[in-house]
Chains A and B, each alone.
Chain A
Amino acid sequence: MKAVSKYGVSENGYYGSFGGAYIPEILYNNIEELKSKYLGISQSEKFNNEFSELLKNYVGRPTPLFFAKNLSEQYKTNIYLKREDLNHTGAHKINNAIGQILLAKELGKKRIIAETGAGQHGVATATVCALMGMECIVYMGETDVQRQAPNVARMKMLGAKVVSVHSGSKTLKDASNEAIRDWINNPENTYYLIGSVVGPHPYPDMVARFQSVISNEIKGQLKTILGKENPDYVIACVGGGSNAAGAFYHFLESEDVKLIGVEAAGKGIDSGHTAATLSVGSAGIIHGSKTILMQTADGQITEPYSISAGLDYPGIGPVHAYLNEVRRANYISITDTEALEAALNLTKKEGIIPALESAHALAALGKLQFKKEEIVISNLSGRGDKDLETYTNYLNELKYAKQN
């Protein structure tokens, strides 16, 4: 977990002009404690031993880097899938949850709260809480409770209390608001286990470090397979941006590696139903961090939309706002339908059912021009079990459309 300097966070928590910690005074001590201890704890030998051991034998890391032959033929290049879907609990979210639960334990916290969109972070948090014997409360928007029902059932079976949130658009933003309110009401005994590279400093940096295992492994695996560490492209979907931050992390300073973040366009960036923050947003403050967000001219945060619960967020991690600004990474967006088609395509071509979030990164393959000899990594952030109902409905719609 080496610090990245040029694109890393500054001492007071900024990436360029983005980041910081805009939090109410009640949380001052909590944030100060985290700020002063997260590096020391996470860089200690004890922590690293436990973290590595759990990633290996509990999560099942390293995850494979799979050469997708059929997809490569389709796009006339060399496509490798980083199989984060094969992690225990089915997505990259568990990497961060393990890191933060060890930190929470070290800080002596007993009660864990989390927000979740797709439910993958909620499941990961409920899982590590079961493992460590900690109380777990997960906030989830009512819309997401409905569209990600299998994950709600898993969280409950794991012993978490799932609180359905009814405010706003009843999705990830609103779940985050409610989790922060819980923290304000319970600052002493509670640890807030944030699921992406969002929120006040030091969360974005901390989560990126815990997810950086993804790019660290890719480097080693490419070295073994190809004899060189760097690919030509790394592509990842971006909700808050944690799987992308982890997949980019160790390539940030290798400027010849093209980094592509993929946001959810929803029904299209000009449709008024989108979650493509960098396309339609502007600078402001959301959930304690200065970043790009979707808002009205009057500074009210607007409701995002995406078919994918994990990308349905009106903000983006400050690190991505910065990488976009300085053009170190490029961000594109993919519509609901393009993502659904990409999910069906991967399933048919490679026998892998991806999460709807990851399907956005796969759809991006069709939007870019690759050379035949180039090496392209697509981060397959999660598996699609939770999205089966959405996929089935889409397949039925297609069948119906064909018949008529």
Chain B
Amino acid sequence: MNRLDSLFQKKKNNILSIFITAGFPKLNDTASIVKQLQASGADFIELGIPFSDPLADGPVIQDSSTVALANGMTLKLLLQQLREIRKEVNIPILLMGYINPVLQYGIEKFAKDASEAGADGIIIPDLPMQQYLEEYKSTFDQYNLKNIFLVTPQTTEERIRYIDTNSNSFIYLVSSSSTTGKKTGIDGAEDYLSRIQKMNLKSATVVGFNISNRDSFQKACKYANGAIIGSAFVKAVSNSNDVAQSTKTFVDSILN
């Protein structure tokens, strides 16, 4: 069974996901970070595929992408590292990246290699639903790779229903209309999140963007099954000499 499916079956509340750009801050830090995230109690991981032009990201994740690329990270190397990581880590791991690197890698080859390396799903912010359904879905399904859709404060109720119908995993609720890490905290998103909560979607929901600490994590979890922390964590490890220790300190500050 897909690890994401098992997670959302087992756990309904306070699911914590952490995002980290692969190959950041150092090329070989990813394994230590991911292992520590599991040890400290994160429920699933989003592993960023670095891209030269990350349009939906704010400065923190943009910079981490630039550093990772300069470190020599590629999609191929990322999948090699993931294969090694999977020997010790069994929580769900999602890849998050832009469409162009995936396209150049080859859709079918990507789905196969990512799945074999141990990825459970993917988030591609610049792949619209329609294109996914027409050109990607059958391949991703064949390799049991979940495609995660985003919903934003702008998304109409009708479209949320449509996304829910076509989703085969959780739905990513973007907390505000913004690039990543634009604000700290999700104040102001309560009405939107409770509106979605009341829709009783069939899919699980996880809130992301602007979740930065224990307080915003807990707030988000009132309205959804869990929440994702990105920029705040990337920042926390960015100047670290001991990424495992920094990871532990960060996750502890959220959960304990």
- A-side contacts of B127, CB under 8 Å: 22
Q: Is residue B216 within 8 Å, beta carbon to beta carbon, of the partner chain?
A: no
Give the distance in Å from the alpha carbon of A177 to the alpha carbon of B101 in the complex: 17
Contact of B128 among A28, A297, A301 (CB under 8 A): A28
Q: Once the chains bind, are B177 and A25 in contact (CB under 8 Å)? A: no
- B-side contacts of A41, CB under 8 Å: none
Q: Once the chains bind, are A25 and B53 in contact (CB under 8 Å)? A: no
Q: Once the chains bind, are A300 and B52 in contact (CB under 8 Å)? A: yes
Give the distance in Å from the alpha carbon of A22 to the alpha carbon of B136 in the complex: 14
Q: Once the chains bind, are B101 and A173 in contact (CB under 8 Å)? A: no
Q: Once the chains bind, are B126 and A285 in contact (CB under 8 Å)? A: yes
Contact of B156 among A26, A29, A180 (CB under 8 A): A29
User: Nearest Cβ distance between residue A268 and chain B, in whole angstroms?
Assistant: 23
Q: Which residue of A lies closest to B63 (CB)?
A: A167
Give the distance in Å from the alpha carbon of A29 to the alpha carbon of B53 in the complex: 23
User: Nearest Cβ distance between residue A147 and chain B, in whole angstroms?
Assistant: 22
Q: Once the chains bind, are B100 and A177 in contact (CB under 8 Å)? A: no
User: Nearest Cβ distance between residue B236 and chain A, in whole angstroms?
Assistant: 22
Q: Is residue A23 within 8 Å, beta carbon to beta carbon, of the partner chain?
A: yes
What interface size band does chain A fall in? 20 to 34
Q: Which residue of B lies closest to A174 (CB)?
A: B53
User: Nearest Cβ distance between residue A56 and chain B, in whole angstroms?
Assistant: 38
Give the distance in Å from the alpha carbon of A301 to the alpha carbon of B53 in the complex: 7
Q: Is residue A298 within 8 Å, beta carbon to beta carbon, of the partner chain?
A: yes
Q: Once the chains bind, are B53 and A168 in contact (CB under 8 Å)? A: yes
Q: Is residue A184 within 8 Å, beta carbon to beta carbon, of the partner chain?
A: yes
Q: Which residue of A lies closest to B102 (CB)?
A: A299
Give the distance in Å from the alpha carbon of A29 to the alpha carbon of B100 in the complex: 23
Q: Is residue B7 within 8 Å, beta carbon to beta carbon, of the partner chain?
A: no
- Given A21-B128, A177-B55: A28 in contact with B100 (beta carbons within 8 A): no
Give the distance in Å from the alpha carbon of A393 to the alpha carbon of B145 in the complex: 57
Q: Once the chains bind, are A301 and B100 in contact (CB under 8 Å)? A: yes
Q: Is residue A241 within 8 Å, beta carbon to beta carbon, of the partner chain?
A: no
Q: Is residue A89 within 8 Å, beta carbon to beta carbon, of the partner chain?
A: no
| Interface residue ranges of B50-92 to A (CB < 8 Å) | 51-53, 55-56, 58, 62, 66, 69, 74-76
Q: Which residue of B lies closest to A297 (CB)?
A: B104
- Given A24-B126, A285-B99: A295 in contact with B131 (beta carbons within 8 A): no
Q: Is residue B10 within 8 Å, beta carbon to beta carbon, of the partner chain?
A: no
- Given A285-B103, A299-B102: A177 in contact with B156 (beta carbons within 8 A): no
Q: Once the chains bind, are A26 and B101 in contact (CB under 8 Å)? A: no
Give the distance in Å from the alpha carbon of A351 to the alpha carbon of B206 in the complex: 65
- Given A26-B152, A187-B177, A299-B101: A288 in contact with B126 (beta carbons within 8 A): yes
Q: Once the chains bind, are A167 and B125 in contact (CB under 8 Å)? A: no
- B-side contacts of A150, CB under 8 Å: none
Q: Once the chains bind, are B100 and A185 in contact (CB under 8 Å)? A: no
Q: Once the chains bind, are A185 and B179 in contact (CB under 8 Å)? A: yes
| Interface residue ranges of A116-131 to B (CB < 8 Å) | none
Question: Which residue among B128, B156, B179, B182 has the maximum number of chain A CB atoms within 10 Å of its CB?
Answer: B128
Q: Which residue of A lies closest to B55 (CB)?
A: A180
- A-side contacts of B156, CB under 8 Å: 29
Q: Which residue of A lies closest to B58 (CB)?
A: A181
Q: Is residue A20 within 8 Å, beta carbon to beta carbon, of the partner chain?
A: yes
Q: Is residue B154 within 8 Å, beta carbon to beta carbon, of the partner chain?
A: yes
Q: Is residue A284 within 8 Å, beta carbon to beta carbon, of the partner chain?
A: yes
User: Nearest Cβ distance between residue B129 and chain A, in whole angstroms?
Assistant: 8
Q: Is residue A286 within 8 Å, beta carbon to beta carbon, of the partner chain?
A: yes
Q: Once the chains bind, are A25 and B104 in contact (CB under 8 Å)? A: no
- B-side contacts of A24, CB under 8 Å: 55-56, 125-126, 150
User: Nearest Cβ distance between residue A389 and chain B, in whole angstroms?
Assistant: 29
Q: Which residue of B lies closest to A22 (CB)?
A: B126
Beta-carbon contacts of A18-57 to B below 8 Å, as 1s and 0s? 0011111110110000000000000000000000000000
- A-side contacts of B178, CB under 8 Å: 26, 184-185
Q: Is residue A188 within 8 Å, beta carbon to beta carbon, of the partner chain?
A: yes
Contact of A299 among B56, B62, B75, B151 (CB under 8 A): B75
- A-side contacts of B211, CB under 8 Å: none
Q: Which residue of A lies closest to B172 (CB)?
A: A25
Q: Once the chains bind, are B125 and A25 in contact (CB under 8 Å)? A: yes
Question: Which residue among A168, A185, A288 has the maximum number of chain B CB atoms within 10 Å of its CB?
Answer: A185
Contact of B104 among A29, A284, A302 (CB under 8 A): A284
Question: Which residue among B55, B101, B155, B179 has the maximum number of chain A CB atoms within 10 Å of its CB?
Answer: B55
Q: Once the chains bind, are B69 and A25 in contact (CB under 8 Å)? A: no
User: Nearest Cβ distance between residue B50 and chain A, in whole angstroms?
Assistant: 8
Additional pairs, 9, CB under 8 Å, beyond known A295-B104, A298-B101: A25-B125, A25-B129, A26-B177, A185-B178, A186-B177, A187-B177, A297-B104, A299-B101, A300-B101
Q: Which A positions have Cβ atoms within 8 angstroms of B?
A: 20-26, 28-29, 167-168, 173, 177, 180-181, 184-188, 284-288, 295, 297-302
Between A and B, 13 residue pairs with Cβ closer than 8 Å are: A24-B126, A25-B150, A25-B174, A28-B155, A28-B159, A29-B155, A29-B156, A181-B56, A184-B55, A184-B179, A284-B104, A299-B100, A299-B101
